[in-house]
Amino acid sequence: MAKKIFWDKGHGGSDPGAVANGLQEKVLTHKIVEYAMSYLSANYTGFEQRTSRTGDQSVELNSRDDLADNWGADVFVSVHINAGRGNGFETYIYNGNVSAATQSLQNMLHAEILATMHEFGPTPDRGKRRADFVVLRETDMPAVLTENLFIDSSDHERLKNETFLRAVGEAHARGVAKFLGLQSIVSGPPQPTDSNRWRIQTGLFDNAETFARAIGRLKEKYSWLIHEQATSTDLNPRYRIVTGLFTGRNVAEYYADQLKKEFGWNVYIIEG
């Protein structure tokens, strides 16, 4: 039986949510969820998904959990942007009695999303929290609410980056897929169309800590040799990864696309 995933886009319609720096929370939550849903559809099978709003509609707070409950959803994820001039990422579950499955969903989402945010720069971990939010208290299935950076602090620069929003949405999708054990759509690499050798190069990481985490994630997923680990100067240390050695540019492009989907990195093809 197909798993049912319900995405709640925070706010909407006459309720913009938090507003600052030329941004509206309702617009950002819509984008993040759309990226999450598209990623799931492109990369997994064995599920259905719905959302609390398809566009910029007003949706009553008390009806959001009803939409998920009446449908019989297996998971509920409510996506929000924080405000209050802080920095960082946090997740919430209900502060009453919750199942082990709810805690597991929070753990998987929190880890996946925070790791992705770190790829764009240091991101304070504000923790896995609990609260008496309606959508967490009234839902009948494991439910988590994510607060994805602050709209009214220096975080807003990343929230203006469409690549970042896509990566965060895709991280939400991967967290849910891992929790539900969704089957990945497997498609192997193509046959090479040329005999030249090619490598994959990432964009720049801003600090050694973020760079080390990226290498760790890459090694965990693939067994490729890291051919180059740093490009930096004493005054402005920045880092990039150069990895793989593929016969055929189209094969390198296939794996570059996998890295973009998996990690949300900027990735380029260079001659080997």
Which one-letter amino acid corresponds to residue 120? F
pLDDT tens, 230-264?
665 556 677 888 888 899 898 888 888 888 877 87
Number of domain units in the chain: 2
CATH code, 102? 3.40.630.40
What's the pLDDT tens digit per position in 172-219? 999 999 999 999 887 788 888 889 999 998 878 877 788 888 888 888
Same domain, 38 and 155: yes
What is the per-residue pLDDT for 235?
61
| Catalytic residue numbers, as ranges | 147
Which residue type does 25 have?
A: E
Do 155 and 210 fall within a single domain? Answer: no
Select the more confidently predicted residue: 97 or 190. Answer: 97
Are 167 and 41 part of one and the same domain? yes
CATH code at position 233: 3.30.70.1070
Q: pTM value? A: 0.79
Q: What is the pLDDT of residues 150-167, one digit of tens each?
A: 999 999 999 999 989 999
Same domain, 117 and 76: yes
Judgement on whether residues 45 and 137 belong to the same structural domain of the protein? yes
If asked whether residues 46 and 166 sit together in one domain, one would say yes
Please indicate, yes or no, whether residues 49 and 158 belong to a single structural domain of this protein: yes
Same domain assignment for residues 7 and 114: yes
pLDDT for residue 141 is more than 80: yes
Longest dimension (CA), the chain: 61
Last residue of a domain, one of 158, 184, 210: 184
Residues 75 and 171 both lie in one domain:
yes
Q: Is residue 143 domain-shared with residue 235, that is, in the same domain? A: no
Domain of 53 in residue numbering reads as 3-184
Same domain, 103 and 180: yes
Reply yes or no on whether the pLDDT at 25 is more than 90. Answer: yes
* pLDDT averaged over every residue in the chain: 92
Residue of 5, 42, 113 lying closest to 258 (CA atoms): 42
Q: Identify whether 192 is part of a domain.
A: no
- Residue 134 maps to a domain: yes
